[in-house]
Amino acid sequence: QSVLTQSPSASGTPGQRVTISCSGSSSNVGSKTVNWYQQLPGTAPKLLIYTDNQRPSGVPDRFSGSKSGTSASLAISGLQSEDEADYYCSAWDDNLNNWVFGGGTKLTVL
Amino acid sequence: EVQLVQSGGGLVQPGGSLRLSCAASGFTLSNDWMHWVRQAPGKGLVWVSRINSDGSSTNYVDSVKGRFTISRDNAKNTLYLQMNSLRAEDTAVYYCARSNYYDSGGHAFDIWGQGTMVTVSS
């Protein structure tokens, strides 16, 4: 059972916009910044969004992040086949004194 | 090229020990917090441990406290994870990662190692 809650799966067709949600609590998402990671099959995770809504250099602007209260979201517009991956949200948790991750959302491009 | 190169890992019996290494290349990790994150087969990411830049402060997830020890040798630009009293549930791919502090007000894991598999089985 992950501290941050994500839907296990999401899907969309090429060109569509999909949103992946991440629900936490006041000790993590509600008071700390949220990061998003993309993990392609068989590879290490890659930083996709940091501090709620910032993109590292090289990440396409099709990817965007937002946060409201104790929930965060990752939006992917103009969906492409290479976006098929697992996506994880993460934040520091003040109660656990740990970094915590969501359980991950497997995105399928139909 | 900026990268973290991992070594160690393998098959170990329950109760055994293993040491993982993570060497930085293309940058100096001496100013950075460093972390270990693991992923059991078919499961999600779980943060394991962190160490501050000079090694004076460490934190662990409850499930590994007292069994795992994170350390670093800044002169060798290398991070370590000593794993003792290993259990079947420690079986996972272990990743090392650097956390970077951003002016926008938080940390994120911006550089990841390639991962190394640890299998605990008799």
Tell me how close the Cα of B57 comes to any Cα of chain A, in angstroms: 13
Say what the pLDDT of residue A60 is.
96
Would you say A72 and A65 are in contact if contact means Cβ atoms under 8 Å apart? yes
Say what the pLDDT of residue B28 is.
93
Q: Do B105 and A104 touch (CB under 8 A)?
A: no
pLDDT score of A23 more than 90: yes
Mode of pairing for the β-strands spanning A9-12 and A105-109: parallel
Closest CB to B108: pick one of A51, A97, A101. Answer: A51
Tell me how close the Cα of B103 comes to any Cα of chain A, in angstroms: 9
Say what the pLDDT of residue A90 is.
98
Q: Where does the pLDDT of residue A89 fall: very low under 50, low under 70, confident under 90, or very high at 90 and above?
A: very high
Say what the pLDDT of residue B103 is.
87
Report B:40-79 residues touching A (Cβ under 8 A): 44-47, 50, 59, 61
Q: Do B47 and A101 touch (CB under 8 A)?
A: yes
Mode of pairing for the β-strands spanning B68-73 and B78-83: antiparallel
Say what the pLDDT of residue B104 is.
86
Q: Where does the pLDDT of residue A95 fall: very low under 50, low under 70, confident under 90, or very high at 90 and above?
A: very high
Positions of chain B with pLDDT under 70: none
Say what the pLDDT of residue A33 is.
97
pLDDT score of A1 more than 90: no
Q: Give pLDDT tens digits for A63-78.
A: 999 999 999 999 999 9
Closest CA to B99 of B91, B90, B108: B108
Residues of chain B positioned with their CB less than 8 A from the CB of A40: none
Q: Give pLDDT tens digits for A39-69.
A: 999 999 999 999 999 999 999 999 999 999 9
